[in-house]
Structure 1
Amino acid sequence: MVVSVGNEVGADSVANRTAQAYQDLRALIISGHYAPDSRLTESELTTQLGVSRGTVRSVLARLAQEGYVTTEVNRGARTRSFTVEEAVEILETRAVLEAALAAKAAERATDEDIAAMTETCRRMWDQQKPGGRDEYVRLNHRFHEQIRQAARQSTLTRFVDSLLYPLVVRQYSNADRTNPRLESVKEHEAILAAIGTHNPESAAAAMRHHLSAVRRALQLNFAMSNDPSSSGADNC
């Protein structure tokens, strides 16, 4: 009986280390620490994550199943890169799901939810300046997360979280642009106004409009990526 308990504790410890290594590596990929199509070697990852090669293999297998990395026999693992067609499909899917979440948020948002989104939009205006892009991107992410929380719809939220949208943005956004897209805050405020007046149809339409604009900006970058002389467009 004592041996069994010890084995269970050991198994829990291994599972915890594997789960933490998965979270750490996934966060590194999403944050852009690795460029698209970067090679991931087991030896480097064991040092970086502080786990065994067996744990690294388990983590890479899970990330491959979820689409964050690709693996080939005898060639190891690489971070995922996307064709233009794949990226557009992900953007279109995101628009459908987040429009539905915005509609739910309009139905269910509390005064506290609306106040939090209002404050985020106010701070987004403060970043509409050269050099404000990084903080604006963080606030943009917060605003969309606040909508998901206000929607209180776990199934839709889970589907959105499973999309590889952050990787698409990392691959195709214009890293040289330092200021946010000019109309972006106005689009967020239109979403907020519809949620604040508890109008689901308007909230969904405003979200679709916003994400269509994001898609068009990124699609411009798709085209500009083949033209080194062009500066492209921002994604936010």
Structure 2
Amino acid sequence: MRVAEQIRELILKGDFVPNQRLVEADLAEQFGVSRAAVRNALGELAVEGLIEREQNRGARVRVISFDEAIEIAEVRRALEGLCAGKAAAVVNDDEIAELKAIGQAMEQMVATGDLGGYSAKNRELHTRIHQISGQRTALSLIERLRGQSVRQQFALAMKPGRPSVSLSEHLAIIDAIARRDQEAAERAMIAHLDSVIRAMHEVHAAKTRSATA
């Protein structure tokens, strides 16, 4: 795995937290690579908006404000709705079976309370829909946006009752794609992202109340 991919994954998992300094020498030792390789990786991640670099102060994991997170979710809604509709138009039988298997795994994980596993399958489902759609430009943009909103996604996963709500939404998306209903697939994906945005507002409001209590 390339250095940029390894650092990106640690940010996505929350192992590297907002505002955390990313020291080239430490990362080079951690990954067993040269400082030049780390420097190039940090430059790539800065372009993606995952980190920020300051003159003479090195790199830090970038903080994403709530307002920016909402904007990102709204852009994802448009892009992912497009991908879901396109996927329904071109999906083959093997891909339908794969999406249904992911859905079944998600159901099992919600039933057993495996939130980490469910979150991973959630990402896998969205990624496979993007890939099936063949919309390479949309996929590239979505991947950048996903990295920037990972902390909000984690907070949603911990929201009581959210996985069950999210599960039904994802199953509706899978069903529409499996029926090759392009309009229904797009509507189901947009409805899911609308639900995500509402939940983000609820989580943010609860944090604000707790901070001011």
Fold match (TM-score > 0.5): yes
Q: Counterparts of 1:207 and 1:152 in 2: how far apart (Å)?
A: 17
Deviation, 1:69, is: 0.4
The match for 2:20 among 38, 49, 60 is 38
Q: Is residue 37 of structure 2 the alignment partner of residue 29 of structure 1?
A: no
- Counterpart residue number, 1:173: 154
Q: Is residue 110 of structure 2 the alignment partner of residue 128 of structure 1?
A: yes
Q: Is residue 96 of structure 2 the alignment partner of residue 114 of structure 1?
A: yes
- Counterpart residue number, 2:32: 50
Point out where structure 2 has 5 or more consecutive residues left out of the alignment: none
- Counterpart residue number, 1:160: 142
Report the secondary structure of 1:24's partner residue.
helix
Point out where structure 1 has 5 or more consecutive residues left out of the alignment: 1-18, 231-236
Rg: which structure is higher? 1
TM-score by length of 2: 0.89
The match for 2:76 among 69, 86, 94 is 94
1:128 and 1:180 in contact (8 A); partners too: no
Higher relative contact order (CA 8 A, sep 6+): 2
- Counterpart residue number, 1:7: none
- The one-letter amino acid of 2:28's match is T
Deviation string, structure 1 residues 15-48 (Cα, Å, up to 9, x no partner): xxxx822222222222221111111112211211
Deviation, 1:188, is: 1.2
* RMSD between aligned residues: 2.2
- The one-letter amino acid of 1:98's match is E
The match for 1:151 among 133, 147, 150 is 133
Deviation, 1:176, is: 5.0
Count of residues paired in the alignment: 211
TM-score by length of 1: 0.81
Deviation string, structure 1 residues 38-76 (Cα, Å, up to 9, x no partner): 111122112112223233222222211221101111222
Identity of aligned residues (%): 35
Which 10-residue stretch deviates more, 59-68 or 112-121?
59-68
Which 10-residue stretch deviates more, 190-199 or 179-188?
179-188
Deviation, 1:99, is: 0.3
Q: Counterparts of 1:31 and 1:217 in 2: how far apart (Å)?
A: 20
Report the secondary structure of 1:81's partner residue.
coil
- Counterpart residue number, 1:71: 53
2:77 and 2:190 in contact (8 A); partners too: yes
As a proportion of its length, which structure holds more helix? 2
2:8 and 2:147 in contact (8 A); partners too: no
